[in-house]
């Protein structure tokens, strides 16, 4: 229950502006459960429907919810250049198995301003040679930016793929000082 004696919804969400466009943040009592890029109109609506289906409860738009307050504050501070690390409870219920293991290693072992190769990350979780599977895990990441899949690049120096689009990945890497800022 909240301070007014009301039952807090099980999943709450809000759209926040960021340096890379609108992000949808969704949280449960267990922590931040989803971050979605380009969260306008149809993307936002599909995300809310998918969350309802996957988590078995109807998400409620609640930008003032205590479940979201700290996540919103930290995301805004990150994009303002005032924060390098996220210190949030994370709800991993949208991902499991190898993908979860890889994403947890990424979250704890690849700091701000650094990158790691897909193959290197595979080796860190004891699966050398599983670079392609790591790429699939990055594509399935339900918590991008907070679990920094933008920091995973090709071993030959290429930027690799990115679910939010390559321009978004470039902008995130530029924000962290890994790449130069785009000229325009």
CA separation (Å) from 117 to 10, 44, 89, 180? 37, 31, 26, 19
CA separation for the pair 143, 150 (Å, rounded):
11
* The token pair that represents 33 in the structure block: 């459960």
* The token pair that represents 109 in the structure block: 């072992």
For the question of residue 24 being annotated catalytic, the response is: no
Collapsing DSSP to helix, strand or coil, 13 comes out as strand
Give the residue among 78, 81, 98, 97 at the shortest CA–CA distance from 144.
78
149, 152, 172, 175: which is the annotated catalytic residue? 149
**Residues in CB range of 67: below 8 A, 6 or more apart:** 8, 12, 27, 28, 29
Looking at the chain, list the stretches that DSSP marks H as alpha helix, in order from N- to C-terminal side: 41-55, 66-79, 97-109, 118-124, 131-139, 166-175
Give the residue among 154, 172, 168 at the shortest CA–CA distance from 112.
172
The residues annotated with a catalytic role in the active site are 149
């Amino acid at each position: 229950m909240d301070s007014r004696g009301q039952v807090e919804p099980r999943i709450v969400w809000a759209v926040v502006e960021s340096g890379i466009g609108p992000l949808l943040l969704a949280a449960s009592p267990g922590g931040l459960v989803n971050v979605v890029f380009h969260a306008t109109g149809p993307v936002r609506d599909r995300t809310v429907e998918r969350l309802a289906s996957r988590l078995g409860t109807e998400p409620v738009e609640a930008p003032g919810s205590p479940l979201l307050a700290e996540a919103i504050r930290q995301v805004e501070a990150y994009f303002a250049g005032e924060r390098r690390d996220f210190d949030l409870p994370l709800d991993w219920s949208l991902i499991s198995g190898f993908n979860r293991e890889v994403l947890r290693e990424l979250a704890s072992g690849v700091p701000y301003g650094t990158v790691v190769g897909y193959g290197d990350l595979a080796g860190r979780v004891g699966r050398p040679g599983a670079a392609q599977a790591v790429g699939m895990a990055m594509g399935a990441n339900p918590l991008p930016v907070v679990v920094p899949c933008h920091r995973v690049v090709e071993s030959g120096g290429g930027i690799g793929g990115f679910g939010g689009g390559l321009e978004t990945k470039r902008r995130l890497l530029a924000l962290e000082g890994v790449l130069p800022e785009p000229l325009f």
